[in-house]
Amino acid sequence: MSYEHILPKGCVRNLIIDGRIVPAISGRTFETRNPATGVLLAQVAEGDAQDIDLAVAAARRAFEGPWSRFTPFQRQECLLKLAQLVDEHFEEFSLLDTLDMGAPITFTRGRRQRAIGMLRFYAGLCTTTHGETLPNSLPGNVFSYTLKEPIGVVGAITPWNAPLTSTIWKIGPVLASGCTMVLKPAEDAPLTALRLGELVLEAGFPPGVVNVVPGFGATAGSALASHMGVDKIAFTGSDVTGRKIIEASKSNIKRLMLELGGKSPDVVFADANLDAAVAGAGMGVFGNSGQICSAGTRILVERPIYDDFVSRLSDFASKLRVGDGIDPQTQIGPVVSAKQLDRIAGYIAVGVEEGATAETGGARLESEGLRDGFFIRPTVLAGVRNDMRVAQEEIFGPVASVIAFDTMEEAATIANATPFGLGAGVWTQTISKAHIMAKAIRSGTVWVNCYGLLDPVIPFGGYKASGYGRESGLQHVEDYLQTKSVVIQNG
């Protein structure tokens, strides 16, 4: 499949600041390569603190200037236009996501409804979010009400594992609320965010409302997180980086939205539909090569069916087709980088050293056509205890750790025995078990007899070290607004 129409050879992708496409002040660029083939896709301008300063200044001017005069209806019109443009260019976005981070083209194409649906959902909230008239008990003729006002300039830092949808998850509520943004996409997959930034300009948003500054975390990301001109940081990524952002936010007591890591339990009871549970739990951890923050990487299986489940899951994993994501037959693409591949291989080795057994997978794939990319076969580790590192630390790869349990109480205890609390799954045909476990597990989302389903109206976020704040749902736009109380003495 040719892609030179969207990425001509030798192309350079520059920053978007104040409505203009500009090189980095330093003149530096960095490479972004296809993780399936190693082929150079583009040179990308490397933004740093100087570029962040310019972008924040542009965002502030837009916030206090032309964007502040847009009515809710006008903001809605622009968001709907952006949704239309993304829909028209969706095949291009699918290709960019597949080429830049490796996800199978069938996977990236399958996110069309989600991407467009989110933009339309946020467009709807432009005209329905409002303050309230408040009854009060003050003496005299006193009238009280609240106003909902945008926070200001938002700094957004996005991950590489779902470039289009994670970027829309940041841009959508910012634009709906009337805030402005400086976006720092992940250096491993920046191309989609830059293209989306171009369409934001085409959709009619004023210059400076959305600025896109690719670069590295230690420079551009750090400068954005600590910038005195930024009112809120919205970050998706690791808990390690999240803690650094919390420290950096102290500079001016920024508001934060942190969607961090996970080590999600997926609990399979003996009465589950095993065919559905094997496939659902399997893709809950292997999908997108395991590079999903809420992946169900700890599969807890009731002991009477443990051996059968492990056998079935191993067979399922071994039959998944691993290859270049551009091939429509591919089910599992490469991981994003050599660094990520080494990390995953290291964890598998640690798991075996600690007593787990690799029932399938466990090694890099270097056959013809795969040796230039970062491929690893989906791996099933059996005999895992919950105190092992592979059961406690986020691997971010296609590695399932299968843990046995005997009772529902033990399953809940194991499920909660982790620093994280982002997602969880329960597989059972007994409705009472489903409700009891959904309440007992401390995580932001619990899926029952399914895994990973998302919808714009359903809030998503974490407990514990998985962060705070919610993306999607009515609360998402509210989190970008401040409440002002007004009290008027009449007469």
Mean pLDDT for 10-34 is 96
d(CA 188, CA 132): 44
| Dihedral sign (CA 397, 398, 401, 407) | positive
Question: What band does 115 get if pLDDT is binned at 50, 70 and 90?
Answer: very high
Half-sphere exposure of 457 (CA within 13 A, CB side): 1
Burial class of residue 339, CB neighbours in 10 A (0-12, 13-18, 19+): exposed
Catalytic option among 46, 259, 359, 471: 259
Name the average pLDDT for the chain.
96
Arithmetic mean of pLDDT, 11-38: 97
| Mean per-residue pLDDT, 164-186 | 98
Q: Tokens 């069309």 sit at which residue?
A: 112
- pLDDT on residue 2: 66
Task: pLDDT band for 172, please (50, 70, 90 cuts).
Answer: very high
Q: Is the pLDDT of residue 122 over 90?
A: yes
- Using one digit for the tens of pLDDT, what is the confidence trace for 261-282? 999 999 999 999 999 999 999 9
pLDDT at 1 over 80: no
Domain covering 265-456 in this structure, CATH number: 3.40.309.10
Q: Return all residues near 276 (Cβ < 8 A) that are at least 6 apart.
A: 427, 449
Mean pLDDT of the region 147-175:
97
pLDDT value at 197 more than 90: yes
- Residue 394 — very low, low, confident or very high, per pLDDT cuts 50/70/90? very high
- Residue 220: pLDDT band by 50, 70, 90 thresholds? very high
Domain 12-260+466-486 part of CATH 3.40.605.10? yes
- What is the mean pLDDT of the segment spanning 299-318? 98
How large is the average pLDDT for residues 326-340? 96
**Could you give the CA distance from residue 133 to residue 144 in angstroms, rounded to a whole number?**
6
Alpha-carbon separation of residue 417 from 400, 414, 443 (angstroms): 17, 5, 11
77-114 residue pLDDT tens: 999 999 999 999 999 999 999 999 999 999 999 999 99
Query: Binning pLDDT at 50, 70 and 90, where does residue 10 land?
Result: confident
* Share above pLDDT 90 across residues of the chain, in percent, rounded to a whole number: 96
**All CATH 3.40.605.10 domain ranges in the chain, comma separated:** 12-260+466-486
- Catalytic, 293? Answer yes
- The answer, yes or no, to whether residue 367 has pLDDT greater than 90, is no
Q: Spell out the residues 6+ positions from residue 197 whose beta carbon is closer than 8 angstroms to its own.
A: 16, 183, 210, 211, 212
**Percentage of residues in the chain having pLDDT higher than 70:** 100
Stretch 188-195: mean pLDDT: 98
Decide: pTM greater than 0.85.
yes
What pLDDT sits at residue 3? 79
List 232's β-bridge partners, or say none.
154, 255
Q: Which of 336, 255, 294, 299 is nearest to 32 (CA)?
A: 336
pLDDT exceeds 80 at position 208: yes
Q: Which of 293, 302, 359, 471 is catalytic?
A: 293
Q: Give the ranges where 203-353 is alpha helix by DSSP (H).
A: 222-226, 239-248, 274-286, 306-319, 338-353
**pLDDT score, position 342:** 96
Q: How far apart are CA 425 and CA 420, in angstroms?
A: 14
Q: Please list the residue range(s) of the chain that carry CATH number 3.40.309.10.
A: 265-456
401 φ/ψ angles, rounded to the nearest 5 degrees: -105, 115
Exposed / middle / buried, residue 264 (Cβ in 10 Å: 0-12, 13-18, 19+): buried
| pLDDT score for 457 | 96
